[in-house]
Amino acid sequence: MLSIVAIIGKWIAAFITQKVLRYNAMQRRLIFGLSSSHAAAILAVILVGYNAKILDDNILNGTIILILITCIVASIVTENAAKKILITEQQNPDDNKDEILNEHILLPIANITNIEHLLDFALYIKNNKSPNPVSILSCIPNDENAENNVLITKGELERFVRQASAREKKANIIITLDHNPASGIARTSKEIMADIIIIGWPRKQGMLDKIIGDKVENIINNTDKTIFICQLNRPFVNHKRLIVIAPPHAEKESGFIIWLSKIHTLATELNLPVILYSNNITSQATAEILKHKTPVLPFNTVYIDAWEDLLIAKDIRKDDIIVLTLARKGSLSFMNQLEQIPDKLEKHYPVNTKILIYPQRYSHHYKVSGYEGYASGTINKGIATIQKLGKDIGSLLKSEKKK
């Protein structure tokens, strides 16, 4: 009963605020979600009363349940309202124009034998009008052999700079010292203000990777850049079609125009037809963007409703490039159903060239007026808050029993 009264009271307050300030229903829900949780203040008041023997155990237990319920409700409501507010906003295609023209591609390498195909891909999608080179990054452990390894690595990478020059494209070498490659990549991407990161397909996880965390996952979580993860199994000229799979709301991501522009460039360079797997809304948004590109790139759409059955597609051939756009957790287009798709792609289409795209989440130009400070991952923060509160309350109760 206490929790119900607390939630209703906060909703009434949000409703009054909406009417006074003339907000819409979604803004009211956001206010309600942000204000409905009870934690530090109420816990302090109740503990003072409990220690003074004014309140009994029933009141203390009821307060703990109140904190639990209101924190969960607040997280869920805020997450839902923030997403719907973002979905109703429209992104101006011209907002990303300067970013595309001044793009900076970062190409980290873990194995020098795989760099040639990845560099080919980077040079294919690079905007010729961008003054920035493709930056080839090597992370070297900061140990007693660091200086010697820097010289050896720089010498090995020089031929790839010459390879880029032969195609009238610019490339440079960046070598950073870091015991953690994922940390070095994330830091360097910020230092050079890279827009796109291109990395190779991750190898199978060993026991050590599972303990300390997968390198690719750490790069995804620690950067907000557009990331291309590539498994390039054959030369690009041997492909016949480009299969692009885009989940619902992919068009609402900040990096939508960036990765779509790269797909347009790749398809144009290779003269490949594009087949888009998506829903109707994403298909329309894609058509709207592509009609402003030169040359005009025609594409066919295969509409998908059941994303669980995505890999049952019978018409994917061995000479197709499969491009799957995913999203970081908390993003508008994130879908739990797609979490295991990369592993299934590797299992069902082992010989195909595969590219995973994680669009950037934020942009210097892309802002939703009045909501720049709200993160979409509130549910995760809410759960962490609840767990911390549970530990704190447990510690307090234990100390009371000892007294």
Predicted pLDDT at 135 = 95
User: Which domains, and CATH codes, for the chain?
Assistant: 2-91+377-402 (no CATH), 95-228 (3.40.50.620), 233-365 (3.40.50)
Ramachandran area for residue 77 (φ above 0: left; ψ -120 to 50: alpha; else beta): alpha
Angle (deg, nearest 10), helices 2-21 and 57-88: 40
Rounded average pLDDT over 13-36: 86
Those residues with Cβ within 8 angstroms of residue 286's Cβ, 6 or more apart along the chain or in another chain: 246, 251, 260, 276, 278, 299
User: Distances from the Cα of 180 to the Cαs of 84, 97, 142, 183, 213, in angstroms?
Assistant: 38, 34, 10, 5, 11
**94-98, 128-132, 162-166, 229-233: range with lowest mean pLDDT:** 94-98
Residue 325 has pLDDT above 90, yes or no: yes
Note whether 277 and 243 are within 8 A (CB): yes
Rounded average pLDDT over 221-245: 92
| Beta strands in 25-170, from DSSP E residues, in sequence order | 105-109, 134-140
Residue 237 has pLDDT above 60, yes or no: yes
Q: How far is CA 136 from the centre of its chain?
A: 22
pLDDT tens digits for range 334-364: 888 788 888 888 888 889 999 999 998 876 4
Predicted pLDDT at 124 = 94
Mean pLDDT of the chain: 81
Predicted pLDDT at 309 = 61
Write the DSSP string, 158-195. HHHHHHHHHTT--EEEEEEE-SSHHHHHHHHHHHTT-S
- Which residue did the predictor score with more confidence, 299 or 208? 299
In total, the chain counts a number of residues equal to 403
Note whether 192 and 198 are within 8 A (CB): no
Those residues with Cβ within 8 angstroms of residue 376's Cβ, 6 or more apart along the chain or in another chain: 79, 82, 83, 86, 330, 331, 332
Rounded average pLDDT over 312-334: 85
Q: Which DSSP category does 142 fall into?
A: -
Write the DSSP string, 244-304. EE--TTGGGSTTHHHHHHHHHHHHHHHT--EEEEE-HHHHHHHHHHHTTSSS---EEEEE-
Residue 263 has pLDDT above 50, yes or no: yes
Those residues with Cβ within 8 angstroms of residue 2's Cβ, 6 or more apart along the chain or in another chain: 62, 63, 65, 66
Distance, CA of 134 to CA of 123 (rounded, Å): 8
Amino acid at 88: T
Strand, coil or helix: what is 139? strand
Predicted pLDDT at 99 = 52
206 C-beta neighbours (distance < 10 Å), count:
8
Distance, CA of 161 to CA of 119 (rounded, Å): 10
- Which residue did the predictor score with more confidence, 377 or 273? 273
Q: Which residues lie across from 299 on neighbouring strands?
A: 274
Amino acid at 400: E
Distance, CA of 183 to CA of 180 (rounded, Å): 5
Distance, CA of 157 to CA of 144 (rounded, Å): 22
Rounded average pLDDT over 277-301: 88
Say whether pTM exceeds 0.75: no
- Cis omega before residue 295 (within 30°)? yes
Only one residue has tokens 């990096």, namely: 255
